[in-house]
Each structure stands twice: as structure tokens, then as C-alpha cells.
């Protein structure tokens, strides 16, 4: 076992201990909070997750096998609520100068409140300092727990910390941590990110082309040649016109007013004169149709006033 694997084994052992034996009572104010903490410790192991898998991998163990083995141990262990009561009972007694009393009893003896005793224990005070130090009296700061050794990774025969690897490959150390938590291999996690990722190319715009009389041109070019607007050609193509019809059919211009009057047998003066024109053609313009013409025979002349 390598030194790195030994460190991760200790981390895994602590998690398994919390899950099977229950979370330590120090730092928790009640049985319910201790039970909830134990439940979370068990869920961390029994529920598949990338973080647990990474810890097992770094320790050189199979995550699936560890999870199955510990799950069987948890099934036979007391419930989190039962463990909370057990641990609560164990922590409530303190031994000092050969005497063992509960925290409440020590509070009466020393004059230090039970809450203060619990906070001191939680903050890492020794039992002697906790019970022998009067309220308001300062003591030397408790030695800090040793820092957790920096995680190292071995790749291509070189072993460096994650921060050192981050400086070598030009990737933030948080990125490497994130990759490992997602289950990436060490080789993949230490892959440098390209400085400039190529942007996806946009699909080239395709132009509609038509072949007519041996010439192949874009639709816009045909519009200029035949004198028909591009939207009109697009509409003709949409409605299924043949290429020949699209390009050879001229636009139908709307007839001017004189032409429209001529088609109706009228003149410009007739259009300006109120009433019915004298040259009204049979069966038209009145809306009466054949039946009205047969019953009533009307004659109009220019002398008829409106």
C-alpha cells in the first residue's frame, strides 16, 4: 500500500465507523441531530455517488465491494436513534483526578455551567482544562489538529500535489478536484484544457439554383434577368410551378382605369356622370337579370334626369 492509499484508507475508515457505530456526540446538541448525522453517514456509503467511488479508488479498493460489505454491517447495527442514545450516555461522563461524574455533576462541583463544559469539549479542550478553568479565565490555545496532507496524484511516473499539477498543465486545481469527483481517471483529470476551443462552424447558407435553357443561376440572378421579383419567383416555386413557367410567365399588371372602363363599354365621362348610363347593356349593371328585363321594359335616354 502506497502512502497515498494509506491516507485515503483512513478517510474511508472514518466514514465507515460513523456509519456503523454512529457519529460521535461531541459537537451535537441533541439525540435527534446525532441520529440525523449518522443517517447521513450511512446514506453516503449505501447510496452510489461519485465522491465515495473516488475515495475507494484512491484507497485502492473496489467501491461496489466496499459498499456491499459495509451495507451488510449497517443492516445488523443498531438504528441511528439507538446509537445516538448510546453515544449520548458515553459522552455525558467525564473523569478528572480519579473522579467520574456526569457533566451536570461536574457543573455543580466546578461552578462551570454544563453548556460551557460542552462547548469546551467541542472546541478541543482537555478534560483538565475544561473542569479546572474558571469562567472568563484564559488558557493557552489548544494545539490545532494537524493539517490534512495535500492530496497527491501520480501520472507518467511523476507524483505531485493537485495544486502543483494545476500549475503544470495550466488548469485550475478546483477543475481537477471536480473531474476526480465526477469519476474521471487520473490521466483524464490531468488533461490540459485547450486555450482556444474551436467554435462550431455555422452551416453554410445554401442558395436555390434553377437551370433553364442551359444556364444554371441563383434564384436572385434569374429574378434580375426575367424582370420578376424574387418573392414572386419564390411563391411560384412554392406553389409547384415548373421552372419554365416560373421564368417565362410575365407579371400580370393591373389594367388602368381607362382600360377597365373600355372593357365595360364605358367612357371616362360616364364614370363621372351620376345615374344610369344611356348605353347600359342588356342584362348587366342593374342586378335585375333576365327576369327583371322580361317583366319591366325600361328605356333610358340622356334626357332622363337622376
Question: Is 302 within a domain?
Answer: no
Give residue for cell 459522552: 91
pLDDT at 139 over 60: no
Read off the pLDDT band of 17 (50, 70, 90).
confident
19/121 same-domain check: yes
Read off the pLDDT band of 226 (50, 70, 90).
confident
pTM for the model stands at 0.31
261/244 same-domain check: no
The pLDDT of residue 245? 86
The pLDDT of residue 205? 67
More confident: 113 or 142: 113
The pLDDT of residue 292? 45
Residue 177's SS3 state is helix
Pick from 42-46, 71-75, 294-298: least confident: 294-298
* pLDDT, tens digit, 9 for 90 and up, residues 30-50: 567 777 888 888 888 899 899
18 with 41: CB under 8 angstroms? yes
123/10 same-domain check: yes
Question: Is 303 within a domain?
Answer: no
d(CA 127, CA 205): 79
* pLDDT, tens digit, 9 for 90 and up, residues 167-194: 888 888 888 888 888 888 888 888 886 5
244/272 same-domain check: no
27/79 same-domain check: yes
**Cell numbers that stand for 64 in this block:** 461496489
51/166 same-domain check: no
237/285 same-domain check: no
d(CA 70, CA 193): 38
Read off the pLDDT band of 291 (50, 70, 90).
very low
pLDDT at 246 over 60: yes
Range of the domain at 236: 209-248
d(CA 32, CA 24): 13
Concatenating the DSSP letter of every residue in 258-280 gives HHHHHHTT--HHHHHS-S--TTP
Question: Is 300 within a domain?
Answer: no
The pLDDT of residue 289? 46
d(CA 109, CA 105): 6
127/156 same-domain check: no
* Mean of pLDDT values over 133-138: 66
Taking the CA of residue 24 as centre, how many other CA atoms within 13 Å lie in the half-sphere pointing to its CB? Answer: 8
Question: Is 52 within a domain?
Answer: yes
7/128 same-domain check: yes
The domain total for the chain is 4
The pLDDT of residue 117? 81
Residue environment code for 7-18, b if the CB has 16+ CB neighbours within 10 A, otherwise e: bbbeebeebbeb
d(CA 258, CA 264): 10
Amino acid at each position: 500500500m502506497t502512502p497515498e492509499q494509506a491516507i485515503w484508507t483512513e478517510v474511508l475508515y472514518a466514514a465507515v465507523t460513523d456509519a456503523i457505530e454512529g457519529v460521535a456526540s461531541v459537537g451535537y446538541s441533541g439525540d435527534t441531530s446525532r441520529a440525523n448525522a449518522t443517517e447521513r453517514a450511512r446514506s453516503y456509503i449505501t447510496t452510489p455517488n461519485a465522491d465515495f467511488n473516488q475515495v475507494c479508488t484512491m484507497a485502492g479498493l473496489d467501491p461496489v465491494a466496499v459498499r456491499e460489505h459495509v451495507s451488510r454491517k449497517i443492516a445488523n447495527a443498531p438504528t441511528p436513534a439507538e446509537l445516538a442514545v448510546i453515544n449520548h450516555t458515553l459522552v455525558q461522563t467525564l473523569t478528572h483526578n480519579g473522579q467520574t461524574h456526569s457533566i451536570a455533576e461536574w457543573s455543580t462541583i466546578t461552578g462551570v455551567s454544563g453548556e460551557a463544559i460542552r462547548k469546551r469539549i467541542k472546541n478541543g479542550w482537555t478534560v483538565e482544562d475544561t473542569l479546572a478553568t474558571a469562567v472568563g479565565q484564559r488558557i493557552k490555545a489548544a494545539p490545532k489538529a494537524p493539517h490534512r496532507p495535500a492530496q497527491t496524484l501520480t501520472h507518467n511516473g511523476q507524483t505531485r500535489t493537485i495544486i502543483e499539477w494545476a500549475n503544470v498543465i495550466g488548469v485550475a486545481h478546483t477543475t481537477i478536484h471536480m473531474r476526480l469527483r465526477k469519476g474521471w481517471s487520473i490521466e483524464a483529470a490531468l488533461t490540459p484544457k485547450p486555450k482556444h476551443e474551436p467554435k462550431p462552424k455555422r452551416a453554410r447558407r445554401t442558395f436555390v439554383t434553377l437551370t433553364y435553357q442551359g444556364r444554371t443561376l441563383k434564384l436572385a440572378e434569374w429574378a434580375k434577368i426575367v424582370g420578376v421579383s424574387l418573392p414572386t419567383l419564390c411563391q411560384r416555386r412554392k406553389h409547384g410551378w415548373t421552372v419554365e413557367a416560373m421564368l417565362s410567365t410575365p407579371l400580370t399588371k393591373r389594367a388602368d382605369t381607362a382600360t377597365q372602363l373600355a372593357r365595360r363599354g364605358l367612357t371616362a365621362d360616364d364614370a363621372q356622370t351620376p345615374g344610369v348610363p344611356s348605353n347600359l347593356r342588356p342584362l348587366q349593371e342593374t342586378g335585375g337579370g333576365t327576369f327583371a328585363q322580361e317583366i319591366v321594359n325600361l328605356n333610358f335616354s340622356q334626357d332622363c334626369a337622376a
